[in-house]
Structure 1
Amino acid sequence: MESVMNSQKIKQNNVLLSAFKQALPIVLGYLPVGFAYGVLARKSGISIDNTVIMSLIVFAGSAQFIAVGLIASGASALSVIITTFIVNLRHMLMSAALSPYLKKWSKLEIAGFTFQLTDESFAVHSTRFAEGDTHKGETFLINSIAQAAWVGGTVLGIFSSTLINDVKPMGLDYALPAMFIALLIFQIKDKSHVIVGLITGLLSTALALGGAGQWNVIIATLIGATLGAAVKWGNK
């Protein structure tokens, strides 16, 4: 009986360690960016309670930053809700992409999983699921560790908001691009992925310099994804 319990503890520890290793790139990105959000939210006049609650129940970096900006400019509650809803519509595509792997999950499990799904955790899970790793416990641990990092960064930002006038000189805005670079590296499997990634990056830069504005990312991503699908289809 004791040996069985020890075996179960070892398995649990292995799952926890594996989840932490996979979530580590997200944690390293979420702590500084969550910190920046906490500072900006307090500077915008949002209460401590509401700042933390937003990270707990919204848990969407871009939407939260947009909401802070809108609230600071005096926008109405309806404007904030509609804008953040539109920004988060991409979650429909991410959820649809992962849905084939969740057919055996209960509705409650799916709801819990999608609640904590972000761009970054999607990148991790899409790779895991494609490799056949759909362990529920590990999946929820990765999501929970990621959100804990985001909330923790938020709390640190709140307590530091009185000491910091501007977060831009601290270079925290580079944390998200750095995190996505790390996640991208984990997903590279062959040379075609590297080539498509480089072409997409160069195209995005060229479009930005050419005056495409923020559309440069979307256009480059669509072209890069199409190119990648064509290469994959051609190799079959």
Structure 2
Amino acid sequence: MKKDMSKREILKESFLASIPIFLGYIPLGLICGIMLQKAGLPAFYILFMSFIVFAGSSQFVAASMLASNGSITSIILTTFILNLRNFLMSSNLHMHIKNKNMKFLMYFCHGVTDETFAINLEKYTYGNWTDTHALYLNNLCILVWAVSCFVGAFLGEIVHISDSVAGFLLTAMFITLIVNQIKNKIYVLVSILSILLSVVLYTFFKNSLVIIIASILSSLFGFYIQKLTHRKECNYE
């Protein structure tokens, strides 16, 4: 049984399960560190931010908004909305975690990302996975991500990345995030609408907060369309 395993053996299994995540986190972390350094953050702040935030998409957004002189309020709200999906992922994993106090759950949820969620859920479902395994995996991923960003901060002082390249990297990353979220035509409509609203609103107001407003309005539109579609399907039945 797994409960009879030593901590060293559990750590080894968690490390092996984390390797696919490391392969993605290391190059992305280096790039993220470089971009945050170019945005004006010192290496120590980047390391601290990587440990505390531990959300690659949020840190890329922060780098972009800092570089464009976005307000602290708009950065916080944008990254909060961007990571609302973590509530759903954490609540899903909570069904597999038994008899743990709130302090453990809060710390565990801090390490939940798309990647750690996918690996832990798969291991909980199909393997003899324990909460200790999952926590070790989360901690290892946090450590690798933070160190990668920290190293990237130093590389940022040596490696020159033009604004056009940085913009391309951010655009490519967000396109990937959108594509991964698209499940049907409604998601496509919401994505297009949010882009159009962001452009139109920014043209008039010149404020980065319009991204949040566009996201909320587009989401409400998607919810309304999905509700109408579900109602029509019920009527046909």
TM-score of the pair, normalised by structure 2:
0.66
Q: 1:214 to 1:131 in 2, by over 3 A?
A: farther
Counterparts of 1:18-37 in structure 2, within 5 Å, are 18-37=13-32
Instruction: State the 1:39 CA deviation.
Output: 0.3
Conserved in 2, the CA contact under 8 Å of 1:33 and 1:172?
Answer: no
Give aligned pairs, total: 182
Deviations 1:50-99 (A, max 9, x none): 21111010010001110111111111111111111101101111112112
1: distance between equivalents of 2:82 and 2:192? 19
2:28 paired with 1:45 = no
Query: 2:108 maps to which residue?
Result: 113
Q: Which one of 105, 130, 139 corresponds to residue 144 of structure 1?
A: 139
- For 2:139 and 2:104, the matched residues in 1 are separated by 14
Structure 1 residues 40 and 70, CA gap change in structure 2 (3 angstroms): same
For the pair 1:124 / 2:119, whether they are aligned, the reply is: yes
Q: CA deviation at 1:214?
A: 8.8
Determine whether 1:135 maps to 2:155: no
8 A Cα contact 1:35 1:157, kept in partner: yes
**Cross-structure match for 1:222:** none
Q: Residue 190 of structure 1 aligns with which residue? A: none
Superimposed CA distance per residue, residues 151-181 of structure 1 (whole angstroms, 9 cap, x where no aligned partner): 1111110111122112859x988xx8xxx9x
Aligned-residue sequence identity (percent) comes to 29
Query: CA RMSD of the aligned region, Å?
Result: 3.2
Partner of 2:226: none
Using the TM superposition, give the Cα deviation of residue 120 of structure 1 relative to its aligned residue in structure 2, in angstroms: 0.4
Q: What does residue 82 of structure 1 align with?
A: 77
TM-score (norm 1): 0.67
Q: CA deviation at 1:213?
A: 8.9
8 Å contact 2:44–2:150 — kept in the other structure? no
- Aligned with 1:105: secondary structure? coil
Alpha-carbon distance between aligned partners in 2 of 1:37 and 1:54, rounded to the nearest angstrom:
11
* Partner of residue 68, structure 1: 63
Instruction: Structure 1: state its 5+ residue gaps.
Output: 1-7, 181-199, 220-236
Taking structure 1 as reference, are residues 214 and 165 closer, same or farther at Cα in structure 2, changes over 3 Å only? Answer: farther
Structure 2 spans left out of the alignment, 5+ residues: 196-218, 223-237
Q: Take 2:108 and 2:36, find their aligned partners in 1: how far apart are those partners?
A: 27
